[in-house]
Structure 1
Amino acid sequence: MKKFFLLQLVIIAISAGTTQAQSSLIKVNVLSPVVRTGSVFYEHAIADDKSLQLGVFYTNFKADDTRFSGYGITPEFRKYLSKSKQAPAGFYLAPFLRYQSFKIKADMSEGGTSMEAKGSLNTFGGGLTIGNQWIFGEHFVVDAFFGPSYNAGKVKVESGDEDSIDAGSFSGFGIRTGLAFGLKF
């Protein structure tokens, strides 16, 4: 996983010398805190109509009697379709990959006895988002996106009952959505 992350950084660094000034963005998804997650993106234009984006998130929340904590990495390629604007502005399509790693703790009670089950979940998947990115002035960025995703993974039980640990919405089909605010530099 570290090699993949480093490869993404190398690609972004190499592409930095081939594009014009002010073609990098840093953004924060303002919808993420609703699900107790912090999400940050770095995007860099690599051509007039293309960019690469790398997103990372961290989460730590409790749903019912299950606590999820972990991180995810989302590399993404964006193809901007607006003829009148250059990347990174306008309407786009963005295929993406996603790796997620979580620790899971589930509190269960059975017959008056309280137990804790522990496990981990690693998923890999991807999807496609559509979105629009606006640049106001020279530096302020708003990015809205939405699309389907799929992640496959399996819970590895460390202790407790395997049936008591559920992957929840982190495995299977889902929706990836966001509203990000950021800066262009």
Structure 2
Amino acid sequence: MNCSTICGLVAAAAVVAATQAQAQTNVVKIDIIQPIVNTAALSFEHKLSETSSFQLGVSVTANYREDGGFNYYSEGRKTSGFGIMPEYRFYLSEKHPAMEGFYVAPFLRFQHLSQKGDYELYDPITGGYSRRKVDATLNAFGGGVVVGRHWIFKQRFSLDAQLGPSYMVSGVSSDGAGVDKDSFLGFYDDINYGIRGGVTFGIAF
């Protein structure tokens, strides 16, 4: 093998390596806001074409204190559960390929939450409060659409911010105190509409 052949192979390998380094097609992300409510939210985005991608998000909530505990003898109600959220992204920028720039993303969402602990009930006759044990679950399904901006820095680091409306249909089953949707963070008895927002940081590869 002569020098010119070796040099040609080395040059070809360098071109392939450079192309692969620039052609990031996946991103793993973590939401940097959700830990405030004892929730870890991870997502995986995969490039489908130059203008689209698919993302799957999974969230896990562990022992979030809904009411913070209302006296020295009780820790109040704690909520745990999980959520699954697939979304399809349409990237709008002509300067950047998919996974960079502004995008519009319709999504679906399923969430299951379980709540246990002590529930404080107000008695309008006596003006006092009584404490009861509660064991309740909430299941919710819906979807919506978000508008966002995705940045890839140094072909490796991802920053993603999004905001948009959502609609969720949910139901609660309870054993014990009369727990309703209002007892779960982010859910309201007479309102199915909401706002979905988030900021994630991740690694592209």
CA contact (8 A) 1:98 1:126 kept: yes
Residue of 94, 99, 102 corresponding to 1:91: 102
Residue of 152, 155, 160 corresponding to 1:135: 152
Give the aligned length: 165
Cα distance in 2, alignment partners of residues 89 and 109 from structure 1: 48
User: Identity across aligned pairs (percent)?
Assistant: 40
Cα distance in 2, alignment partners of residues 50 and 151 from structure 1: 25
TM-score (norm 2): 0.74
Letter in 1 for 2:176: G
Cα distance in 1, alignment partners of residues 45 and 129 from structure 2: 52
| Deviation (angstroms), 1:31 | 1.0
In structure 1, the partner of 2:198 is 178
Letter in 2 for 1:27: K
**Unaligned residue ranges in structure 1 (runs of 5+):** 1-19
| Deviation (angstroms), 1:67 | 2.0
Instruction: Look up the SS of the partner of 1:33 in the other structure.
Output: helix
CA contact (8 A) 2:52 2:98 kept: yes
More strand by share: 1
Residue of 46, 59, 65 corresponding to 1:62: 65
In structure 1, the partner of 2:142 is 125
Instruction: Look up the SS of the partner of 2:114 in the other structure.
Output: strand
Instruction: Look up the SS of the partner of 2:203 in the other structure.
Output: strand
| Deviation (angstroms), 1:46 | 0.3
In structure 2, the partner of 1:10 is none
Q: Does 1:161 align with 2:189?
A: no
Q: Does 1:77 align with 2:94?
A: no
CA contact (8 A) 1:79 1:92 kept: yes
